């Protein structure tokens, strides 16, 4: 970088080329208007520099009342105390900073470029998350801006031990990726592994955290997610307090939590806010829902096609009467209804607003009723498919629920072929796969396997959630010497 403004300006414009959305302004500063300056910013990201409320506007007004020598001295020392002002030694660094949404200022006689914060890129701001609905707890959700998201986490974790490490991903997008963790809780080797996986690929662009998730997964072929996604800052803060790491990607309202396990996907944010009886009952329902979302259609086929003796005679006769006139085998019935319901689910997601909410309810009722009246399927199949869908909706994490929706079709095929033996084989294959699955070194089936590694303390927060005052230790994610998270103060005395 040169001290001559003309050379810096020429190098800057040569690097950027011609682009209609990049605005450039030239001005004269100083008492005698003898100091030239050059402003560059992306359209919309810069406010009006003439108003007093603009940071850069105030700075330029100050410079207009100073001599040229005082201007250079002020810039060197940041005498005006502008927060987040950054100096750059090269034109390339200045151009990259401008593309993040800030204003770049070149001043004649000063051999550095300055990044000055202004309006920045527009974003949706803090909204209520669409998924992970809770009855009790915060209603704030992550925004599209990574700076807003880190601030929402720090709002909840007001300690200097909370650290944010920033990386760049995408050769063309230069997207910010923040690694958020608690310095004294997280294992250093985990941080090293996270950085290694983030840096192992070079990609054109990273526009959402889903790209980072897919590139960083160890077992890419598994239907089960190895990262836990969340749109809730309180959920992210809760994970950080357990010694886990949160990844935030710019322009994405979805954060990634790692490591994770099967049990973490079943939990909800308000499990910690509600009494232990309510939280435990809710978790038991979700565990049962996850099981039946995967197995119920297959079990129906195994029982009705191969093992009818397990059903009461009256129920069996009722099933037989309902299937009279249906031209298809039971497996074809189930597949027809399952595929129809998946189509309705996909259509409901893609259609806008109220229409999307309507299509799932009205479409399901109309198609199910019409199919029964036309003798394409039996009423019991409609009930089985509807109950299975209800179970999948009860799983808190959408990505986790998707795994059970996919495996459901494998159970249908195996059970229609081998009956209850097919069901056992399918269940065994899933359990074997889960037992081999790890998320950054943590077994996926924790705390049901390896519970002794943390003195069986993790089991206190599994299917049953014990009372809060008994959950004194952090999960296995945290450092061994930092496992205690709750203790009674010695000075506390009960008084009548």
Kindly report, residue by residue over 443-494, the tens digit of the pLDDT: 999 888 888 888 888 888 889 999 988 888 899 999 988 888 888 876 555 4
Q: With contact defined as beta carbons under 8 Å apart, do 479 and 283 qualify?
A: no
- Prior bond to 259 cis, omega within 30? yes
Average pLDDT, whole number, for the chain? 86
Provide the pLDDT for residue 50: 47
Lowest-confidence segment of 185-194, 333-342, 417-426 by average pLDDT: 333-342
Residue 240 has pLDDT above 60, yes or no: yes
Across residues 51-67, what is the average pLDDT?
Answer: 74
Lowest-confidence segment of 19-33, 301-315, 355-369, 399-413 by average pLDDT: 355-369
Provide the pLDDT for residue 189: 94
pLDDT in tens, 129-175: 877 888 888 888 999 889 899 999 999 999 999 999 999 999 888 89
Distances (CA, A) of 50 to 118, 125, 239: 13, 26, 45
Instruction: Tell me which residue of 180, 223, 226 sits closest to 440, measured CA to CA.
Output: 226
pLDDT-derived band at 96, boundaries 50, 70, 90: confident
Phi, psi of 344 (to 5 degrees): -65, -40
More confident residue, 434 or 1: 434
Across residues 216-243, what is the average pLDDT?
Answer: 93
Provide the pLDDT for residue 402: 93
The H or E element that residue 181 is part of is strand 175-182
Strand partners, 103: 116
pLDDT-derived band at 98, boundaries 50, 70, 90: confident
pLDDT in tens, 79-95: 566 656 788 888 888 88
What whole-number percentage of the chain has pLDDT above 70?
93
Across residues 414-437, what is the average pLDDT?
Answer: 94
Burial of 338 by CB count in 10 Å (0-12 exposed, 13-18 middle, 19+ buried)?
A: buried
pLDDT-derived band at 244, boundaries 50, 70, 90: very high
By DSSP bridging, strand 255-258 and strand 245-249 are antiparallel
Provide the pLDDT for residue 231: 92
More confident residue, 77 or 42: 42
pLDDT-derived band at 316, boundaries 50, 70, 90: confident
Sequence-ordered strand ranges (E) for 82-174: 86-88, 103-107, 113-116, 162-169
Provide the pLDDT for residue 239: 94
Region of 483 (left: φ > 0; alpha: ψ -120 to 50; beta: rest) is alpha
More confident residue, 375 or 295: 295
Burial of 347 by CB count in 10 Å (0-12 exposed, 13-18 middle, 19+ buried)?
A: middle
Give ∠ CA 356-122-96 in degrees, rounded to 5.
Answer: 125
Provide the pLDDT for residue 437: 94
Sequence-ordered strand ranges (E) for 49-125: 86-88, 103-107, 113-116
Rounded Cα–Cα distance for residues 402 and 397 (Å): 9
Hey, is 74 helix, strand or coil? Answer: helix
């Amino acid at each position: 970088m040169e001290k001559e403004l003309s050379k810096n300006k020429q190098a800057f414009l040569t690097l950027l080329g011609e682009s209609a959305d990049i605005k450039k302004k030239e001005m004269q500063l100083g008492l005698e208007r003898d100091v030239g300056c050059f402003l560059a910013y992306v359209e919309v990201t810069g406010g009006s520099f003439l108003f007093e409320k603009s940071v850069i506007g105030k700075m330029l007004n100050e410079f207009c009342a100073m001599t040229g020598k005082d201007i250079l001295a002020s810039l060197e020392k940041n005498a005006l105390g502008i927060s987040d002002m950054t100096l750059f030694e090269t034109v390339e660094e200045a151009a990259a900073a401008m593309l993040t949404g800030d204003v770049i200022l070149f001043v004649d006689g000063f051999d550095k470029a300055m990044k000055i914060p202004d309006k920045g890129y527009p974003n949706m701001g803090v909204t209520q998350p669409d998924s992970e609905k809770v009855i009790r707890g915060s209603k704030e959700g992550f925004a599209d801006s990574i700076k807003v998201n880190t601030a929402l986490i720090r709002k909840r974790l007001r300690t200097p031990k909370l650290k944010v490490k920033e990386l760049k991903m995408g050769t063309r997008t230069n997207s910010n990726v923040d690694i958020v963790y608690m310095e004294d809780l997280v294992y250093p080797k985990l941080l090293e592994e996270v950085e290694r996986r983030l840096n192992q690929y070079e990609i054109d662009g990273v526009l959402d955290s889903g790209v980072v998730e897919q590139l960083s997964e160890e077992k890419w072929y598994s239907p089960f997610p190895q990262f836990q996604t969340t749109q809730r800052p309180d959920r992210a803060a809760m994970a950080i307090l357990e010694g886990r790491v949160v990844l935030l990607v710019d322009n994405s309202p979805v954060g990634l939590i790692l490591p994770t396990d099967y049990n973490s996907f079943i939990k909800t944010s308000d499990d910690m806010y509600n009494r232990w009886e309510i939280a435990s009952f809710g978790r038991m329902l979700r565990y049962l829902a996850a099981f039946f979302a995967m197995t119920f259609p297959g079990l129906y086929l195994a029982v009705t096609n191969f093992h009818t003796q397990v059903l009461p005679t009256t129920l069996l006769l009722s099933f037989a009467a309902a299937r009279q006139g249906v031209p298809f085998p039971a497996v074809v019935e189930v597949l027809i209804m399952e595929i129809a319901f998946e189509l309705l689910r996909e259509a409901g997601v893609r259609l806008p607003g109220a229409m999307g909410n309507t299509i799932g309810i009205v479409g399901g009722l109309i198609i199910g009723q019409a199919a029964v009246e036309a003798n394409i399927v039996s009423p019991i199949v409609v009930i089985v498919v509807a109950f299975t869908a209800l179970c999948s909706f009860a799983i808190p994490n959408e990505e986790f629920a998707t795994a059970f929706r996919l495996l459901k079709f494998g159970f249908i095929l195996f059970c229609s072929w081998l009956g209850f033996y097919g069901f056992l084989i399918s269940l065994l294959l899933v359990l074997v796969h889960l037992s081999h699955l790890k998320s950054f070194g943590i077994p996926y089936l924790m705390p049901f396997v390896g519970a002794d590694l943390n003195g069986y303390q993790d089991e206190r927060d599994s299917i049953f959630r014990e009372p809060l005052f008994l959950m004194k230790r952090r999960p296995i994610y945290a450092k061994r010497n930092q496992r205690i998270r709750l203790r009674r103060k010695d000075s506390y005395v009960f008084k009548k």
